[in-house]
Structure 1
């Protein structure tokens, strides 16, 4: 029987070991090159940033200050008038709420900067006492404040409709609390229609729908026109309804 013999060559393992050392050295060289590149570029400030630190700083021109609050109220504050007659925007008052409702009360007030007034003796004063009636601004009479008027609500309706109005107290009126407040008011505005004109048209030309046409109610006017005033019955009813004010303008406003 033939015997196979393998000859051991000691240089085989030596060549494989040399190959691994070469690969490791090459990878180490590549890693050193990459690390050096990153350290020299990453984290370095851009050239325009370094140059900007040495360049002069350009600032925007100064903008003049806005008009002070003093100019806004001194224009409507009369100089040399009685302190008790100054508008509310011209003074500071130390209002307290422990007074009796609807009873006279006196509060300590001070004029704002740039406002000059005279006391009862005729001498110029800065601090003075202001006598007013103890009540909040929203409790004043309607003649002492102005409110916004809504033209989107129906004035001729049952029950009467209300709207949210923004009211502001007149300048010469003094009161407690906020001078601007909200209030629920009845719809009260007019579109220029006269009650006397509508009634006259209803009596004379109501059979032809002239009263309804005048009030802006075109459908009812055409109905009366082509039905000859509902054979007189509709005409008579409209005279009564317009006379008592139940039928009004189509836009929901009040008569003049």
Structure 2
């Protein structure tokens, strides 16, 4: 059986997760599932690398770039497959928790220089009798950057609540200068002011991070969603509905379309 992949945007709220279904990965065969954009941005799907066990692989992706065509691919030692291009609608800029369950949009990303500082991690040591020092060095870090945001009303409260725990966050954006469309950031400094009426501006300094849970697959729909779908039903009615179904179909089903 040839390896194959499909990608479908779920019916959840914007920005919706993508449901990925991969078939044909044999038992003991290593695989990698990743996405790309026409602009050359590439990312690995969380939980999308491993060794197959001969069954269907079903994953959700909550780190897809928004408002641009994206293409997903599964690669194995036995071959590869590419899904048809899809587009995930979304606002120009949003911040979300790592699990994607909390999302905050803003009124605007205000114009600025989008400074970035790269840490060189170089130490110089002076040696007696030598005119030039020796150095100890390491790879240059991706560094730090800053964003200036504007919020109003409920956006302000939502952003405060998202920033309060101090955990790493994900930003997703489209068309803002040369920023990557998706990245993980740790905010290291937060300044805010209210210069006019209900509007509030935010100066957020961040450190770029690798995703701390890249091996953990994203959740598209929780059991709470399942409970909503069948809140007025019995197990007999569930059994009747799925009498001709399979567990693979159950795993890939878009439960958010029914809530």
TM-score (norm 1): 0.20
Structure 1 or 2: larger strand share? 2
TM-score (norm 2): 0.20
